[in-house]
């Protein structure tokens, strides 16, 4: 009887752990669970944030450099998205939109996984304008 008391919860835990299907890449749940920590910005980066964003410029740059993977509306459904190992994320989601401008700036500039780096390729002011443009994807 005593062994049964130990055995049953053990079986329960094992089923819980191994019973879960591992989430394939390109999956929203996997993306949400992924931890991608942004580092604090430098003083120069903070200073480069424009007082007034240029959304027209932000959009033009987004369409040119980001749309292929992230999709026109930031849903992660660009034409290149199926070739990526990691789902690019859903920019219309609360999970994305609740991040600060600074975090989105950092992720855009320094990249991670299948996300390219833009440091040295796109200047900071342009990145800020893209950050502002990405706010338009909010549901
Ligand atoms: C080659 C495909 C590709 C291109 C081009 C690309 N990205 Fe990404 N991006 C990704 C992938 C894949 C991820 C998810 C990485 C991860 O979760 O580890 C990502 C993630 C991001 C994130 C973080 C999303 C989150 O969950 O917080 C931001 C912000 C971002 N990209 C912005 C941009 C911007 C702005 C551009 C254009 C300047 C761009 N990306 C171009 C593939 C791309």
CATH of the domain at 130: 1.10.760.10
Please indicate, yes or no, if residue 30 is contained in any of the structural domains: yes
Closest C-alpha among 136, 139, 138 to residue 62:
136
Distance from the CA of 107 to the center of ligand 1, in angstroms?
Answer: 7
Distance from the CA of 123 to the center of ligand 1, in angstroms?
Answer: 17
Distance from the CA of 32 to the center of ligand 1, in angstroms?
Answer: 14
Please indicate, yes or no, if residue 3 is contained in any of the structural domains: no
Please indicate, yes or no, if residue 93 is contained in any of the structural domains: yes
Can you tell me whether residue 89 is helix, strand or coil? coil
Given a cut of 50, is residue 66 above it in pLDDT? yes
Give pLDDT tens digits for 80-99.
999 998 899 999 999 999 99
Please indicate, yes or no, if residue 9 is contained in any of the structural domains: no
pLDDT value of position 112: 84
Q: Is 132 exposed, middle or buried (0-12, 13-18, 19+ CB in 10 A)?
A: buried
Please indicate, yes or no, if residue 18 is contained in any of the structural domains: no
Please indicate, yes or no, if residue 49 is contained in any of the structural domains: yes
pLDDT value of position 7: 64
Q: Give residue 40's domain range.
A: 23-137
Ligand 1 shell residues, CB under 6 Å? 31, 34, 36, 65-66, 68-70, 80, 84, 86, 88-89, 96, 99, 104, 107-108, 112-116, 118, 130
Classify 137 in phi/psi space as left (phi over 0), alpha (psi -120 to 50) or beta: alpha
Please indicate, yes or no, if residue 115 is contained in any of the structural domains: yes
Please indicate, yes or no, if residue 43 is contained in any of the structural domains: yes
Q: What's the pTM value of the predicted model, to 2 decimals?
A: 0.82
* Cβ neighbours of residue 107 closer than 8 Å, sequence gap 6 or more: 36, 38, 115
Distance from the CA of 97 to the center of ligand 1, in angstroms?
Answer: 14
Q: Which atom of ligand 1 is nearest to the CA of 114?
A: 12
Domains identified in the chain, total number: 1
Give pLDDT tens digits for 105-139.
999 999 988 889 999 999 999 999 999 999 999 98
């Amino acid at each position: 009887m005593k062994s049964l008391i130990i055995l049953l919860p053990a079986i329960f835990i094992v089923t819980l752990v191994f019973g879960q299907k591992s989430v394939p890449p390109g999956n929203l749940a996997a993306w949400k669970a992924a931890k991608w920590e942004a580092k604090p910005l430098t003083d120069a980066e903070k200073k480069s944030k424009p007082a007034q964003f240029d959304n027209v410029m932000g959009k033009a740059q987004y369409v040119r450099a980001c749309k292929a993977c992230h999709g026109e509306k930031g849903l992660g459904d660009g034409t290149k998205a199926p070739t990526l190992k990691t789902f690019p994320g859903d920019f219309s989601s609360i999970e994305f939109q609740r991040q600060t401008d600074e975090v989105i700036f950092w992720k855009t500039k320094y990249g991670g996984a299948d996300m390219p780096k833009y440091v040295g390729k796109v200047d900071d002011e342009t990145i800020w304008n893209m950050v502002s443009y990405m706010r338009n994807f909010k549901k």
